[in-house]
Amino acid sequence: MSETDPWQAVLERIDDGARLIGLDDGIHRMLSVPTRVLEVAVPVRMDNGRVEVFTGWRVHHDVSRGPGKGGIRFHQSVTVNEVKALAAEMTLKCAVVDIPFGGAKGGVQVDPRLLSDFELERLTRRYTIDVASLLGPDRDVPAPDVNTDARVMAWLMDTISMFRGEAVTGIVTGKPVAIGGSLGHVGATSQGVLICCRAIFHELGMPMAGARAIVQGHGKVGGPLCYLLSSAGMRVVAVTDADGGVYNPAGLDTLALADHVARRGSVDGFEMADPLDPAKLWEIECELAVPAALENTITAEAAESLGAKVVVEAANGPTVPQADAVLERRGIVLVPDILANAGGVTASYFEWAQSRQGFAWEGQIVAERLRRIMETAFDACWHRSKDLKVTLRRASVALALERVGEAIRLRGLFP
C-alpha cells in the first residue's frame, strides 16, 4: 500500500477514533471492511461504432443508520480503494451531521472529457443498470460527485424509472429541480463550507473581513465557494485548478473569475491576476486555505510549508494522515472533510425527504435547515475536540463512530 492509499488513510483514522472512544472490538472490525463492493464492466458503444469497456464500482461501507448515501464519480484515476475510502467517509459524514443514512459511493474509471454527450449518457445508463440491484430509495441513494451533475442524475433516475415502469424520484439526489430536485441543492456543499469557515473563525477570534483565502479547485464546490468567501468580506487571493492558477494579492474579482471559467473551462489565463504555478499554492501566506479538488493534495511536505492558519476541507480526503500530524505540530487548525463538506449530503437528505413526501420545500426553508444542521454539527465536533483534547478531525471521527456504533449495537448482529 502506498502511504497515500485513501482506504488505508481512512482505516487509520477509524482505528484512531475507535481507540479514543473505546469502541467495541466487534463493531470496530465490522467498520474496517465495507459491507459490499460491486465491481462492474460497463460496455459502451462509442459514436464511431467501437465498443469500449469501462470499469465501475458501487460500494456500501456501512448501512446501519439508514440507506447507503453517496455520490458517483467519473474520473480516469478512480480505483476501488478510492471508492471504498469515499464510502467510509460518507458513513462518518452522515453520522457527523446526524442524518439517517449509511455510507456508499460509486465510481467509473473514465475521463468524461473524452466522451461526447451521447457517449456519456449511454455510459451513465449502462452503469446504472449494472449497479441497479444495490440501488433504491430505502437501499442506496446516489448523488453527484466529481465530474457528475444534475444531468447525469436525471439519466440515472430515468433509467431506473423506465425499468420499473414508474417514476422513482427518491432513488437519486442532485436531480434537476424540474423533475423533483430540491431548491438549494446546487451550491449546498459550498454553503456548508462557508458556515464552517464562519464558525471556526469565530471560535479562533479571527475576523473574516479582509482576511486572505486561497482555494484549490474551481468546480462545483470551489467555484461558488470563491464567490461566497468574497461576499463574506474575505480576499480570495489565489485559485488553482487542474490547468493553472491565478494570484492577486488585492483579492480576485470572483464574479469575473467565474465568468472566465464558464467561458474557458479553467482559471488559467484570467487577465485580472498574475499566473500562479499550482504547485506553489499552499505556500502562499494567508488566513484560510481550502482544498476543493481531489484527495491527497496536502502532503506532509506541503503541510510543512503551508502558509495558512486555518484549513477547511471542502474536498474529500485532501490531507494525507502524515500531514495531519505536521499541521497539528505547527498549530494550524483544520476543519475536516466529514464536517466541512457535509452541506451537500445534508441538502441531499432534504431532497430525498421531499421526493418521498411528494412535497417541495421553499428555498428559504432548505437554507435555514441547512444552516441549523451544519452549525449544530460544528458545535458538537468543536466541543468534543475540547473535551477529548484532540484535533477537530480526530474528534469528528470519534463522534461519528460513537453514533454509528450505537446504531449497530441497537440493531444487533443478524442472525
Nearer to ligand GLU, 143 or 381 (CB): 143
- The DSSP result for 102-134, as a single string, is EEEEEEEE--GGGS-HHHHHHHHHHHHHHHGGG
- Which grid coordinates belong to 270? 484570467
Q: Which neighbouring-strand residues pair with 212?
A: 235
- Smallest distance, ligand GLU to C-beta of residue 79, A: 17
Least separation in angstroms between residue 71's CB and ligand GLU is 3
Cell of 264: 474557458
Report the residue number, 127 or 247, with the smaller CB distance to ligand GLU. Answer: 127
For residue 279, give the nearest of 262, 299, 250, 252 by alpha carbon. Answer: 299
Q: How far is the CB of 126 from ligand GLU (least distance, A)?
A: 21
Q: Residue type for 56, please?
A: G
Nearer to ligand GLU, 190 or 248 (CB): 190
Q: What are phi and psi of 366, to 5 degrees?
A: -60, -50
Q: What is the largest CA-CA distance in the chain?
A: 64
When the beta carbons of 240 and 348 are compared against ligand GLU, the nearer one is 348
Residue with the shortest CB distance to ligand GLU: 71
Q: How far is the CB of 344 from ligand GLU (least distance, A)?
A: 4
Q: Clarify whether 280 is annotated catalytic.
A: no
Cα 255 to Cα 212: distance, rounded to the nearest angstrom: 17
- Separation of alpha carbons 272 and 249, rounded Å: 11
Of 120, 20, 85, the residue nearest 294 (C-alpha)? 85
From the list 69, 105, 220, 309, the catalytic residue is: 105
Least CB distance from residue 365 to ligand GLU, whole Å? 18
What residue has cell string 449546498?
Answer: 188
Distance, in Å, from the CA atom of 284 to the CA atom of 275, rounded to the nearest integer, reads 14
CB 78 within 8 A of CB 108: yes
Residue 93 identity (one-letter amino acid): K
Binding site for ligand GLU (CB under 6 A): 69-71, 143, 145, 173, 316, 341, 344-345, 348
Measured from the CB atom, the residue of 92 and 123 that comes closer to ligand GLU is 92
Taking the CB of residue 400, how many other CB atoms lie within 10 A of it?
29
Q: Report the candidate in 349, 370, 345, 411 with the shortest Cα–Cα distance to residue 86.
A: 345
8 A C-beta contact, residue 343 and residue 192 = yes
Residue with Cβ nearer ligand GLU (181 or 245): 181
> CB of residue 316 vs ligand GLU: minimum separation in angstroms?
5
Catalytic residue numbers read: 105
